[in-house]
């Protein structure tokens, strides 16, 4: 993110702490992380949500997260079906948990910054817990009319 300082500076102040909860598809204990953003940067990532004051938590099964990250990795950015707002809007694939609607609204106040942060994962080389990798980059347009 710091390497993309210019891009995130243009998007503006980005001040929120949110949680990510990933439930294994076989129903085991979820993996939890808290991400803290301040000014233009991601300043802290910690494992676990206990004792962390979050504005909201995005949660869902590993399969849904994986589909989103696979799409981003393959296309360079989320397509029309895999933007975070689309996935969470009706809670069909991912759900947003919150105590305070003001905290919840930060998901929307910083919507483009959060989406671009997630889209940066297209440039990261990583493996999933089962050792598999996201698909390689495809050279095709991701925008569809319908």
Partner 1 sequence: MSYLSTVDFTEDRAFVDRFQRTMRGDLELSWMDAPRERVACRPQNERRGLTFRDLDVGSYGFTDMPELIRENRSFAPRGAAMPEGLPDLQAEVNRKSEVWAYNIEGYYEEAMTRQWNATTDIPWGELQSVDLPEDIGKAYAQLLTFLTEVEMIATDVPAKWMGRLNADFFEVKNFIATQAMDEARHAEIFRKRALSTGWGLMRASAQNEFNLKFLRDADSFAEASLALHLQAEGMVLTLFRFSEYISPTEGDKKLFRLVMQDEARHVGYGMQHLKWVLDHFPERREAIHHHLDEAENFVFGGGYATEVLEPFIILSGKGLKKENIAEGVRITNAFQLKQADEYFERLAKCGLPERRERSRLWKMIELRKQSMAA
Residues in contact with partner 1 by CB under 8 A are 11-13, 15, 39-41, 77-80, 83, 85-86, 89-90, 100-102, 105-106, 108-112, 115, 142-146
How far is it, in rounded angstroms, from Cα 60 to Cα 26? 13
How far is it, in rounded angstroms, from Cα 128 to Cα 107? 26
Torsions phi, psi of 136, nearest 5? -70, 160
How far is it, in rounded angstroms, from Cα 141 to Cα 76? 10
How far is it, in rounded angstroms, from Cα 79 to Cα 40? 24
Closest distance to partner 1 from the beta carbon of 134 (Å): 19
CB of 65 or CB of 110, closer to partner 1: 110
CB of 32 or CB of 82, closer to partner 1: 82
Closest distance to partner 1 from the beta carbon of 130 (Å): 30
CB of 90 or CB of 126, closer to partner 1: 90
């Amino acid at each position: 993110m710091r390497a993309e300082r210019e891009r995130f500076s243009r998007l503006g102040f980005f001040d929120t702490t949110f949680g990510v909860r990933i439930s294994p598809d076989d129903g085991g204990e979820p993996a939890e992380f808290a991400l803290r953003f301040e000014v233009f940067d991601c300043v802290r990532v910690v494992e676990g949500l206990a004792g962390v004051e979050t504005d909201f938590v995005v949660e869902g099964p590993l399969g849904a997260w994986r589909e989103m990250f696979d799409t981003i990795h393959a296309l360079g950015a989320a397509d029309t079906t895999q933007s975070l707002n689309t996935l969470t809007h009706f809670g069909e694939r991912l759900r947003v948990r919150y105590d305070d609607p003001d905290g919840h609204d930060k998901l929307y106040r910083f919507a483009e910054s959060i989406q671009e942060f997630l889209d940066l994962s297209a440039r990261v080389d990583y493996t999933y817990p089962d050792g598999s990798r996201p698909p390689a980059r495809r050279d095709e347009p991701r925008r569809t009319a319908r």
